[in-house]
Amino acid sequence: MPTERRRVLITGASSGIGAALARELAGRGHDLALVARREERLQDLRAEISARHPGCSIVVTRLDVTDHDQVPIVFDHLAGEFGGLDRIVINAGAGGRGTRIGAGEVSENVRIMETNFVAAVVQAEAAMRIFTRQDSGHLVFMSSMSALRGVPGRMTVYAASKAAISSVAEGIRMGIGKGSDISVTTLFPGYIRTEITGPRADRLPFLIEADHGARLIADAIQKERATAAIPWWPWAPMRAVMPLLTTPIIRRLSAG
């Protein structure tokens, strides 16, 4: 069984999956370091969780993960606050509604790549330095089922950013020595209702609510497997058949 990982840092924790996961892990007895750009929301979340789980230690810190110089400073500070970090969840990310390649508007696509890929690499660097010093730790990447195939239209760059970070996660995992207490997990969520999905959510196939998704994510994290689809059905079988799906099917799955 994996080592108990009590002290957890979650990036992008002010809303959506990050906030739902913080609530879920607090209920399971974890201490939390929560970072995001919107500090006021983090303070509200800390007050909410503390009221429900008075025994949970929670530290919140404002962090824009695209500020590359600040990421290792904040991560190291939080590790110092808790006397180490057992698990770091790279969850902060930009939503999937970019612009179609060729539309002549590159700024949103660049923002998505910088947040979902470049910033995630910077976070992974800071996390692995902490884990290497400790000789233990669990690094979790929040990817997406869209990482498994190219996706048309406004989702093209989002899917590419998630595919890129999945590749980075696999590379880090492969480089860890045998017998190490450092592990890496890549999560592939399907459609989960959050602020990002917005009004189009009800048109998405196999949609689940954020609290349900957080429970499944927490279960997968605690198993510390290399990869996991969230939820298992239908997305785990879909991972196997995704390379075989026709273009019309891919278009339908990415509709909305």
Tell me the catalytic residues. 158
Residue (of 219, 181, 228) closest to 84 by Cα position: 181
Angle value at C-alpha 200, between 117 and 214, nearest 5 degrees: 60
Question: What gap in Å lies between CA 94 and CA 84, rounded to an integer?
Answer: 28
Q: Where are the beta strands (DSSP E) in 101-165?
A: 137-142
Helix (H, G, I), strand (E, B) or coil at 245: coil
Q: Which pair of structure tokens corresponds to residue 111?
A: 């923002």
Residue (of 164, 153, 256) closest to 207 by Cα position: 256
Burial of 43 (0-12, 13-18, 19+ CB in 10 A): middle
Question: What gap in Å lies between CA 154 and CA 131, rounded to an integer?
Answer: 37
Residue at 120: amino acid letter: A
Question: What gap in Å lies between CA 171 and CA 183, rounded to an integer?
Answer: 12
